[in-house]
Amino acid sequence: MKKLIFITLLMSLCITLVDAQVVEPEKVVKKQGTRRANNKIERGVDKGFDKLEEGIGSLFGKKKKKKKKAANEEPKNTSDKKEDSNRNDGNNSNERVEKQVAKKPDVVWNKFDFVPGDVVLFEDGPAVTEENGEFPSRWDLKDGNIEIAQVDGENVIYSIEHGTIVPYLKNAKEDYLPEIFTIEFDAFFGTGYSGRYFISFFDAKNQRCNNNDRLYVYVNSLTLGSSSTNYPGKSKGNWDAVGGWRHISIAFTKGKMKAYMDDTRLINIPHYEANPTGLTIQMEKYASSDYEKYIKNIRIAKGGVKYYDRVLQDGKIICNGIRFDVNKASLKPESMGPINKIYELLQKQPDLNFSVEGHTDSDGDDASNKSLSEARAKVVMEKLIQMGISSNRLSYAGFGESKPLDNNSTPEGKANNRRVEFVKVEGIAASAKPNTSGNSIFDSLDRKAIDTKMESLPNGNIPVSNQSGILLKNGTTIIYGTSDGYLGKMEVLDVDESDNYRLTVRYVTYNDDGSVHSKSDHLEIGGTYTCDLDEGSTGDMTRSEEDFWLGRPDAKTTTIVQRENTGFYVVPN
């Protein structure tokens, strides 16, 4: 009789469990209080089922109690595998990626901290006025053969045969490099055997060597003394390399030497023992070989005061290291060094507000220069907003050539006049145009509005990119329900194709009473990483904490994959 009662109770419980599983996920997401209650009920039922299972095992003597699985252990039965497969859009490779990601450490590395000097001491493009086939007028020849050539419509310095050059300066025999300086140039590498560039920190024609090591510039690596590093993901070898232009940046600060290739620091020597006094550039090129050697955009600049100190002293920061394509408002990659420093300053000083102001040299007409400077200032402002700076802290303006800092008769003077200034203001400057690029949809949503919108929107996984490119546009607003039962909103700030489709968002997660549970103006989720929007954390975490992860079935396809008991909804513009 006792057995009959026990079996009847067991069957009743199983029916209850089956009924509990038919609740529609979308309704569970939309009714947050109900889901939190259901989660508690399900945890209680699981414990009760374990007890019943243990009792059945002892009753019939045929089944031992199973060991509790670790939080990160993968399911072994076929139904669990099927559930995982469906969640990852039927691609089992996502499951394998997830296993690998769970063990990956959360590494923070500032790989590009280069900030160009404030005052340009020497600059050569070469200028458009240089005559093709002539020796470059701003340089002196040490040996070899060097001439001006044109590549893709731009003048360049061309090494015909193993050429070595030094800047043509009146004070070339003196130490013309200050205690803090930067050197930049663009170097071209051909395919096949690409050859090397040798950078010496003294004038080989006019000065003594003074034990300075040479910087060896390879197609994908840099070497200085005993320090040598490859560009991430590339091999050091110069054979069978994919060539093209490389931007080389060198920073010397009172004995500390750093060197960069494109967007990554490769050399970092804390105590460079020799004293840099000048510059020599040697290009490995022989007349009998078919690989080419060109350089352009060479600049030597004197370093300056830290950004925060400049604001305190002058009320503004002058940056001529923020670069753009010729006659365009498109940022060059090397501009991110100064922009990152401005971003860090704004993050550390929440009461600091800037008017971003563009300036040009005198080339071109006044009206075009004013429009160009305004467009460039706006691009810089929008980049900072995209990175997470609140739009009400920034404005922009353009002054063209009307406020020169230097003369416009020399390349160095023009370089000093082409600049972006960050002028301290109280709120938005009256003389500047206010930002209108903020996402009003994101800003207008509170918890109540989010709950209402969820009733009319479909939820599901959200495509980020595919073979044709990035699909999730900057400024897109997404609303969500989290694994802990909260509602929230996030805005897409950036999808970085060059960094494994890293997703940067700003987000707010609300408590049930409408107060803020957690928020961030700049949250980065690395490709294939998980994210918890209850706490604003990414990386390794237990499955129950995850709200979504960036699924990657192949190299170019990325998807925001929602977890169990969560929901994600794209809000139309």
DSSP state of 73: P
Rounded to whole angstroms, what are the CA distances from 182 to 111, 201, 257, 283, 388? 17, 11, 10, 20, 29
Q: Cis (ω within 30 of 0) for the bond into 126?
A: yes
Predicted pLDDT of residue 285 = 78
CB 287 within 8 A of CB 163: no
Q: Where are the beta strands (DSSP E) in 393-446?
A: 394-398, 419-425, 433-434
CB 117 within 8 A of CB 303: yes
DSSP letters for 462-516 = EEEEETTEE-S-TT-EEEEE-TTS-EEEEEEEEEEGGGTTEEEEEEEEE-TTS-E
Rounded to whole angstroms, what are the CA distances from 499 to 259, 266, 267, 547, 555? 21, 17, 21, 22, 11
Calpha distance 427→570 (Å, rounded): 32
Predicted pLDDT of residue 497 = 84
- φ and ψ at 261, to 5 degrees? -120, 120
Calpha distance 296→281 (Å, rounded): 12
Calpha distance 144→414 (Å, rounded): 31
Predicted pLDDT of residue 507 = 95
DSSP letters for 521-540 = EEEEE-TT-EEETTTTEESS
Predicted pLDDT of residue 506 = 92
Calpha distance 363→410 (Å, rounded): 12
Give the rounded distance of the alpha carbon of 304 from its chain centre.
25
Q: How many CB atoms lie within 10 A of CB 331?
A: 17
Residue at token pair 């497969």: 85
Tokens of 64: 């031992």
CB 300 within 8 A of CB 398: no
- φ and ψ at 353, to 5 degrees? -125, 145
Tokens of 228: 């040598």
Calpha distance 429→271 (Å, rounded): 43
Residue at token pair 């590093």: 229
Calpha distance 367→361 (Å, rounded): 13
Predicted pLDDT of residue 11 = 53
Calpha distance 508→518 (Å, rounded): 6
Q: What is the CA radius of gyration of the chain?
A: 30
Bridge partner list, 507: 490, 520
Calpha distance 214→520 (Å, rounded): 45
Note down pLDDT in tens along the chain; length 573 residues. Answer: 555 455 555 555 444 443 443 434 444 444 444 444 344 334 444 444 444 344 434 433 433 333 333 333 433 444 343 344 444 444 444 444 444 444 455 554 568 778 888 889 999 999 999 999 999 999 999 999 999 999 999 999 999 988 999 999 999 999 999 999 999 999 999 877 778 999 999 999 999 887 778 999 999 999 999 999 999 888 766 666 778 899 999 999 888 999 999 989 999 999 998 999 999 999 987 655 567 889 999 999 998 667 877 787 788 999 988 989 888 999 988 888 889 889 999 998 888 999 999 999 999 888 999 999 999 999 999 999 988 888 888 999 999 999 999 999 999 999 999 999 999 987 544 333 444 444 568 888 999 999 999 988 999 999 999 888 888 988 899 999 999 999 999 999 888 888 888 899 999 999 999 999 999 988 889 888 899 999 888 877 888 899 999 988 888 899 999 988 899 999 987
Tokens of 288: 């009998």
Calpha distance 414→419 (Å, rounded): 10
Predicted pLDDT of residue 98 = 44
Angle at 279 between CA 277 and CA 284, to 5 degrees: 145
Bridge partner list, 221: 230
Q: How far apart are the first and last CA of the chain?
A: 66
Q: How many CB atoms lie within 10 A of CB 216?
A: 16
Predicted pLDDT of residue 109 = 56
Calpha distance 203→209 (Å, rounded): 8
Strand 353-359 with 394-398, pairing: parallel
Sign of CA dihedral 304, 306, 312, 315: positive
